[in-house]
Amino acid sequence: MKRKHFVRLAAALVTLATLGATAAPVGYALDPHSSWVQFELSHFATSTIRGRLGPARGAVVLDAAAGRGEISIEIDTASVSTGFAAFDERIRRDDLLAAAAHPTAWFVARSLRFDGARLAEVRGELTLRGISQPLTLTAVRYRCAPHPEAPARELCGGDFEGRIKRSDFGIDFGLPFVGDEVTLRVQVEGTRTP
């Protein structure tokens, strides 16, 4: 009986080793026309401040078969846009985004959760104003398909959501009248690299 269990265990380990050896990571370059970060936070507990940053630049490597990957995204903080230029300029100041001193924000993730071949969740670290904090982004939708303009090339993309506290990044201006919790909605599309 012990020998039978040992043979099954050995066969399972060989199968797993083979799957790991044949899993092939695939790289994607983000499309700056379709990759943006939108943000929302409460204003005087009456309305919602909304804006966006971007376009986002970066690269993604996915290995769905092995359930792993790596994501690296950067964005210019001076690109903030709310639709009101004077407000955008105010947000760029030192007590908010500090865009002059910290012109770039980064998101780097090496912990990915897949649901089959579908990317379901990304856990990484957001660096804003020189401060790094954990950030989890959950996939609202995610899909890969042939690129409509170049069917031989694969296009993957999706919408992801996460939440941060701006005070964790040293942004406490306006508290508590302007909300601390910020909802991030990240829209990305990437084309498979050769």
192, amino acid identity:
R
3 belongs to a structural domain? no
Q: Which residue reads 């005070």 in tokens?
A: 167
**Better-scored residue on pLDDT, 65 or 169:** 169
Mean pLDDT of 55-84: 95
Q: Which residue reads 């940053």 in tokens?
A: 53
CA distances from 193 to 29, 133, 150 (A): 6, 30, 12
pLDDT digits (tens, 9 = 90+) for 39-52: 999 999 999 999 99
pLDDT digits (tens, 9 = 90+) for 137-153: 999 999 999 988 888 88
19 belongs to a structural domain? no
Assign residue 124 the CATH number of its domain.
Answer: 2.40.128.110
* Number of structural domains found in the chain: 1
151 belongs to a structural domain? yes
Whole-prediction pTM value? 0.84
Which domain does 97 fall in, by range?
24-192
Tell me how crowded residue 122 is: count the other CB atoms within 10 A of its CB: 23
